[in-house]
Amino acid sequence: MSLTRRQKEILDFIRAFVAEHGYSPTLDEIARSFHLASLNGVHKHLVALEERGFLRRRLNHARSLQVLDPEHASAGTLPLLGYVAAGEPIEVIADPEEITVPSSMIGKHKNYVLKVRGSSMIDEHIQDGDYVIVEERPEVRNGELVIALVDGESVTLKKFYRETGQIRLQPANPDLQPIFLKEEQVRIQGVVVGVMRRYY
């Protein structure tokens, strides 16, 4: 997919910045470099680059932009299965839509997309209305973002920690408390491998 002149300039800037510093620039640094008064303008360019597969936003990183090789700049479609709460657990609602995602975000196992409701994961840069790409896989490591089925009834998006005699589902919002459950109360439905955002 072709890029506009400004999108290519921003992509080249990010690539050069990473090569020089070893980490990606912040939105402020990009805005200053291109004399953009609004961070929203930067956001729009980054979303366009991400949707075209030239960038990926890495989870658990403050400077989260990762430049992808051109051969990975392709897209596929995944089913949008409904909503997941980033707050109190709610049910996932079946939804027949499909959503286009960069192929670089698609994992080796079965993948699907959920739309986020709530603000419990804002410190992981996941906001209300974002889309999370979920990979179904058997192994889950402490600290990973998961889609957890609680008591066989409701689904929530949290960080997963297996502790002595219990499971801790940890929000990423200092105003919210973790959820402590017995292991038999929790079934992991998938691990979050990517986040996408639309700007209107």
Q: Which residues are catalytic?
A: 120, 158
What's the rounded Cα separation, in Å, for the pair 176 and 87?
Answer: 8
Q: Quick one: which of 200, 191, 171, 7 has its CA closest to 88?
A: 171
20 CB-contact burial (10 Å; exposed 0-12 / middle 13-18 / buried 19+): exposed
Secondary structure class of 43 (helix, strand, coil): helix
Answer for the pair 129, 121: CB distance below 8 angstroms, yes or no: no
DSSP codes joined into one string, 44-69: HHHHHHHHTTSEEEPTT-SS-EEEPP
Secondary structure class of 71 (helix, strand, coil): helix
Q: Quick one: which of 82, 69, 185 has its CA closest to 132?
A: 82
